[in-house]
Structure 1
């Protein structure tokens, strides 16, 4: 953990022209990795030992340092170390998704009344598009972020100046922001087996065309009304295609979309070939309520096209939600109190650096710390005497690091509770899997 921290801070050093902001950025990263209940300018400055928040505010608002360059450093660090973590070769997925932060007033760059997933509906806030790097069975981290700015903010000179918008900034949809994030990742030499995303990105024709032009496979969610062209030139919506071609039970197969915290996430799946030889509709059906989800897929020439591979790629979209949860709850991704466009992005990249350090540390320790007992094979099976331990998580890595670098609480006490939690979670997972066997 300490080695990963030192390596990333060393790699970030050239992004700063002066030593003062470089040292302050290191303090900022350590502060967001700490156990502070809230992470804002005041609490971070107090944790860093500063006499006032001035240095922290200067770091975000006025100091000269290369924000895009720092984002690139964090991106390469996270992707390279997740790929280098022990384990067999697995699928790598670039997951696109947006996350919001509620804001008051109208003085923040990009703030507007809009749909906010974090608020559960329409609320005042800002939205940012993220790219996550996910390696199956290993780990995941956020490696790119671009804030969505409403068109009226860019065209209004007063708003543009007061919120610090770049002079060359042009309006971009979330799909176009995703194109920019993928371009940055490819420029840094980061490749993906698949790109995944929800309906916002699946219905963006420009994004799909961009991916196909670059021969990049994708599995993108689309709405039930999304129009497909099937063999013979038949034009149908996704819902109509399922009704026509997936009526018999033999059209569906039960497969896992991946391992969840409580066991395998099993669904019924079907796929339908479209008029193009490399395009498919992948349909997921919930086994209890029959709810359908649709994925439009593209696999370029020379790559294997199998149903299990598409299902695995579709199932690897959900870890980006875990990255959001960890970044917000553990590192304060949504706790910034900045107003300016550049300051907001600087807060994000420093939080993403803290998340990347913990994520790659957890990935490196995963094979050594996973001692879970074998899963049950029959409903009435007796539980094992020792359920073992789940692998170290990002949250546990963070707790242990803080205990090792501070005097309270003791590292021994923190390690005891870490083992207790992981054993309890391993036991809960075992019983949950047995309950699923009984239900099946």
Structure 2
């Protein structure tokens, strides 16, 4: 077994290969108590090793072949019917990731991803927007919570999104949800993506996960209920928000983010790098506007990021420098430079999803049942956590300087 894409095979020593194999066995052994039967423990190892192998497509047919099985029946039964708790395994994955990647700059990042589907019977599948293609597709969409630091990043929680198509009443709706195994709570009403993210952050807090900021894009930053909950629990955050988001000012007034941006003098903009890209540091012009503090003693700041070159057409068809807005909830005295770095760390989630899909088969499952989705996704998280741990010990951490 060799983690694909981690390093070139000819760069490895025989001792490194043996060490990684022993480390993977130790990780699997550490979660053996999640599974009641020895057969389930064997199947876990077969699935994880198959996901980490170089099989062309990491569905249960090819994973089973890699394990030497004549058919995928054993592994499909492991995902659909065997007795084990996917949430307990999730908690163990989270603990392993935090132990491996813990650092003073660690962050939590919520984001969604989608898997294109052909049929209509898989739990949660519907015609809905997915960022994979940037348009409406027949897809499953799921929300994930990632843990990232200068030592690496991995996924520590997951929730399958079931939209309006899966929430309702009537005999036909009940039958369809029963066939897919959708829980009653999720079959009655839509649980929004920001609420799914909130639940995952709540679990991370309950588990004592150490982090500096919670990061998310404007789908989550635009949720006032999510922001209120985070502020009530004194969770520091940096989240993108829509340009028309109304924000409270220190003098009691309220204005939209774009109105505040219009009042910012050009002279106060500072050029900073918020993260490293494929072609070097990502440099933007930034401005910070102080907002009303929260009743809990933490401060709020509107961070405005402007492109350094014209890259977007305005309503008149003119090419202008695009502006993006981030609402920040932070300790008093936090510098704009720290908020810039925090905002830039959200890009780690894109790398996390890419690694999960390219190296751990995150988007190659062919399960239909609700429970099977959660189980396979959680096993994929375990495989990804192992890769993140290996990388963290082999690749030297790199910190971005603003």
Determine which of 270, 278, 281 is the counterpart of 1:261.
Answer: 278
**What is the deviation of 1:182?**
0.9
Is the 1:95–1:132 Cα contact (8 Å) retained in structure 2? yes
Secondary structure, counterpart of 1:342 in structure 2: helix
**Deviation of the 1:55 alpha carbon:** 0.3
On the 8 A contact 1:8/1:74 being kept in 2, the answer is no
Residue 149 in structure 1 maps to residue 162 in structure 2: yes
> What is the rounded CA distance, in whole Å, between the counterparts of 2:26 and 2:336 in structure 1?
40
Deviation at 1:152, TM superposition (A): 4.1
Q: Partner residue of 2:180?
A: 163
Residue among 316, 329, 332 paired with 1:298: 329
Match of 1:352 in 2: 381
Question: Unaligned regions of 5+ residues in structure 2, if any?
Answer: 1-19, 311-320
Structure 1 residue 308: Cα displacement: 1.0
Q: Which residue of 2 aligns with 1:100?
A: 114
Does residue 241 of structure 2 align to residue 241 of structure 1? no
Q: Which structure is higher in helix share? A: 1
Deviations along 1:173-212, whole A, 9 cap, x unmatched? 0011001111221222212100000011101112111111
- Asked if residue 26 in structure 1 is aligned to residue 45 in structure 2, the reply is yes
Distance 1:4 1:254 in 2: 44
Q: 1:22: Cα distance to partner?
A: 1.4
Q: Following the alignment from structure 2 to structure 1, what is the Cα–Cα distance between the partners of residues 328 and 104? A: 19
In the alignment, which residue of structure 2 is the partner of 1:116? 130
Structure 1 residues without counterparts, runs of 5 or longer = 84-88, 371-440
**Is residue 307 from structure 1 mapped to residue 332 from structure 2 by the alignment?**
no
Native 8 Å contact 1:109 1:164 kept in 2:
yes
CA distance in 1, matches of 2:336, 2:157: 29
Distance in 2 between residues matched to 1:3 and 1:313, nearest whole Å = 36
1:272 paired residue number: 289
CA distance in 2, matches of 1:171, 1:18: 36
CA contact (8 A) 2:237 2:329 kept: yes
Native 8 Å contact 1:216 1:300 kept in 2: no
2:104–2:211 contact (8 Å) kept in structure 1: no
Alignment of structure 1 residues 132-143 onto 2, 5 Å: 132-135=146-149, 137-143=150-156
1:409 alignment partner in structure 2: none
Hey, what's the Cα distance between the residues in 1 that align with 2:184 and 2:266? 58
User: Aligned in 2, Cα 1:275/1:185: closer, same or farther, shift over 3 Å?
Assistant: closer
Contact 1:111 1:125 in 2 (8 A): yes
Of the three residues 302, 311, 318, the one matched with 1:281 is 302
- C-alpha distance in structure 2 between counterparts of 1:214 and 1:305, whole Å: 19
Partner SS state of residue 318, structure 1:
helix
The answer as to whether partners of 1:154 and 1:165 remain within 8 angstroms in 2 is no
**CA deviation after TM superposition for structure 1 residue 28, in Å:** 0.2
Give the whole-Å Cα distance in 2 for the aligned partners of 1:6 and 1:188: 25
| Residue matched to 2:15 | none
1:259 to partner: Cα distance: 2.3
TM-score by length of 2: 0.86
Aligned partner (choices 121, 128, 139) of residue 142 of structure 2: 128
Q: Which whole-Å CA distance do the structure 2 matches of 1:334 and 1:221 have between them?
A: 26
Residue 3 of structure 1 and its aligned partner are, at CA, apart by 4.3
Shift of 1:96: 0.6
- CA displacement, residues 263-319 of structure 1 (integer Å, 9 cap, x when unaligned): 211111101011226111001111012111100011146xx5111111111010001
Alignment RMSD, CA only?
1.6
Residues in 2 aligned to 1:24 and 1:250: alpha-carbon distance in whole angstroms? 62
Residue 4 of structure 1 is matched in structure 2 by 23
In 1: Cα distance, 2:280 partner to 2:290 partner = 31
Counterparts of 1:290-439 in structure 2 under 5 Å? 290-300=321-331, 304-367=333-396
Q: C-alpha displacement at 1:356, in angstroms?
A: 0.7
Separation (CA, whole Å) in 2 of partners of 1:120 and 1:367: 34
Q: For residues 173 and 3 of structure 1, what CA distance do their matches in structure 2 show?
A: 41
- C-alpha contact (below 8 Å) 2:305/2:323 kept by paired residues: yes
Instruction: Give the drift of 1:258.
Output: 2.0
**SS of equivalent residue, structure 1 residue 280:** strand
Asked if structure 2 preserves the Cα contact closer than 8 Å seen for 1:102 and 1:119, the reply is no
2-structure distance, mates of 1:186, 1:331: 27
Shift in Å, 1:80: 1.1
TM-score of the pair, normalised by structure 1? 0.79
Q: Deviations over 1:22-53 (max 9, x none)?
A: 11011100001000110112111111111211
Structure 1 distance, partners of 2:248, 2:44, is 52
